[in-house]
Structure 1
Amino acid sequence: MPHKVIFVLIDGLAWQVAHDCMGHLQGLCEAGRASLYRLNSALPSLSRPLYECLLTGVPPVDSGVVHNQITRLSTQTSLFHLARAARLTTAAASYHWISELYNRSPYLAVRDRFTDDPALPIQHGIFYHADSYPDDHLLLDGEYLRQRHDPDLLLIHSMNVDDAGHHAGYDSPQYRNAARRMDIFLSDHLPGWLDAGYQVIVTSDHGMNDDRSHGGILPEERQVPLFTLGSAFSHAPEVAVRQVELCGLAADLLGLSHDKPRNQELIRR
């Protein structure tokens, strides 16, 4: 049975900080309504390469998007392409690099910030281009898109945790408190999303280090969380998950035909 999906990408959120600081999501896990898994990011542990990995199932060494300064459309078939080809409705409230990968490149704010075009892979979008764009505003953008367009696939991509890490580093109150704030903001929206029948994936692209950067193989740079929420998930413990499988996971939930890497242990049978 196909489901609608909300994919929440919290940029720069390390697994340990998610585990320790996101009390609402952890409360849902304790209540048996969510599950938390730990997975390693692909390499390099940089944002644009890992957006491509998460949304196409292709690691950076194969996609060719190997650093953040590569500004071009993706050459891969993304989750948005698969959904549009199946006549599903797509939307994103996201940092502008997502628009550059899947809609139009380069991003022109006056043209692309507010997007409504059924011919594009991301048909409805509210994109931003400042890392300090407030996470609570972003979630309102996502909720606006959800209520206005009733998308089958909605991406919500926040930057404040990553921004705090770049300013203060991994082992800092600023970084941990940014994660705590995002947890509170999510607690305002998750009940409505779940009541509406959405399956919710909450994850990150990469973590952060004490040098206020990322890109390498340190555990705090690579280990990221995966929270799964919704009736379609198995909530099976001890499932080994790879980052390249999250595109296929979302595609399976949406009922799409695809050849992406997949992990069907995460879905209820």
Structure 2
Amino acid sequence: MKHKVILVVLDGLNDGVARHAMGHLQAYAAAGRAALYTLTCELPALSRPLYECILTGVAPIDSGIVHNNVSRLSHQRSVFHYAREAGLSTAAAAYHWVSELYNRSPFVISRDRHTEAPDFPIQYGHFYWNDHYPDSHLFADAEHLRVKHSPDFLLVHPMNIDDAGHKHGLDSAQYRNSARSADILLADYLQGWLDAGYQVLVTADHGMNNDRSHNGLLEEERQVPLFVLGDAFSFNPDVEPRQTELCGTVCALLGVAHDKPVCRDLLRPAV
């Protein structure tokens, strides 16, 4: 069965903070309408390598995107590629590194900020380049893409949680409140997405530490949440998904051919 999918990557969100700060998402879980899992991110715990990992299922050590300054098109096939090859539509409201990985590199603001390119892996996009770009604007960008283009796959990628962590650290009111703010923003859109028939995954690339950074093996840097919402998910509490399985799992939900690992236990048997 084919489904539309929205993947939300809340950049820099630590799993522990997600568990106590994301009240709206946790309400869905408490009502049996969502499930929350803990993922351990791949290494290194850095953004561009883990965007690549989430969207292609390939760990950084194998993708070659091994730090944030590797600025080039991906050598891997991503969710966007598989969806387009199957004739589905794609969109992203995301940091400009996503455009550089899958559409064009380097990112040229005047050319790539707003993308409408039917032949590209990411057909429709709103891309930003400042880490303090307001999450409220980013979610509005994403909703504009959804309403205008009704994409089969939509990536939503805000940055303010990560930005607060780099400025103030993991154990700070600013970081925790950025997570709470993202949860409140999600509350404006989430039920509408579900009512429109989307399956929704909410996760993060990496966590954060008290040095106001991330790159290593500390639990707080590597453990991130995965919320899943929609009738295609099993909500099995015993599942242990891997970050490298997200790409294939999204492809399975979309009903497109792919060659990536899948966390089948996340899904209902019919998917």
TM-score by length of 2: 0.99
Q: Secondary structure at the match of 1:144?
A: helix
Q: How does 1:83-102 map to 2 (within 5 A)?
A: 83-102=83-102
Query: Unaligned stretches of 5+ in structure 1?
Result: none
State the AA in 2 paired with 1:104: R
CA distance in structure 2 between the partners assigned to 1:215 and 1:69 by the alignment:
14
Counterpart residue number, 2:135: 135
Q: Deviations over 1:23-64 (max 9, x none)?
A: 010011000000000010000000000000000000000000
Counterpart residue number, 2:180: 180
State the AA in 2 paired with 1:60: P
State the AA in 2 paired with 1:113: R
CA distance in structure 1 between the partners assigned to 2:19 and 2:238 by the alignment:
15
Q: Secondary structure at the match of 1:225?
A: strand
Q: Deviations over 1:182-240 (max 9, x none)?
A: 00000010010000000000000000000000000000000000000001000001211
1:159 positional shift = 0.2
CA distance in structure 2 between the partners assigned to 1:150 and 1:28 by the alignment:
24
Q: Secondary structure at the match of 2:77?
A: coil
Q: Secondary structure at the match of 1:158?
A: coil
Counterpart residue number, 2:53: 53
Q: Deviations over 1:222-263 (max 9, x none)?
A: 000000000100000121111000001100000011110111
Structure 1 stretches of 4+ moved >6 Å: none
State the AA in 1 paired with 2:46: L
Q: Deviations over 1:109-151 (max 9, x none)?
A: 0000000011100000000001001111100100000000010
The answer on 1:266 being equivalent to 2:244 is: no
- Equivalenced residues, count: 269
1:19 positional shift = 0.4
Query: Unaligned stretches of 5+ in structure 2?
Result: none
CA distance in structure 1 between the partners assigned to 2:130 and 2:34 by the alignment:
31
Counterpart residue number, 2:235: 235
The answer on 1:122 being equivalent to 2:122 is: yes
Counterpart residue number, 1:162: 162
State the AA in 2 paired with 1:33: R
Counterpart residue number, 1:210: 210
CA distance in structure 1 between the partners assigned to 2:153 and 2:89 by the alignment:
7
State the AA in 2 paired with 1:47: S
Counterpart residue number, 1:146: 146
CA distance in structure 2 between the partners assigned to 1:231 and 1:154 by the alignment:
18
TM-score by length of 1: 1.00
Q: Secondary structure at the match of 1:66?
A: coil
CA distance in structure 2 between the partners assigned to 1:24 and 1:145 by the alignment:
23
CA distance in structure 2 between the partners assigned to 1:67 and 1:3 by the alignment:
33
The answer on 1:29 being equivalent to 2:29 is: yes
State the AA in 2 paired with 1:97: W
Identity of aligned residues (%): 63
Counterpart residue number, 1:191: 191
Counterpart residue number, 2:10: 10
CA RMSD of aligned residues (A): 0.4
Q: Secondary structure at the match of 2:157?
A: strand
CA distance in structure 2 between the partners assigned to 1:249 and 1:261 by the alignment:
8
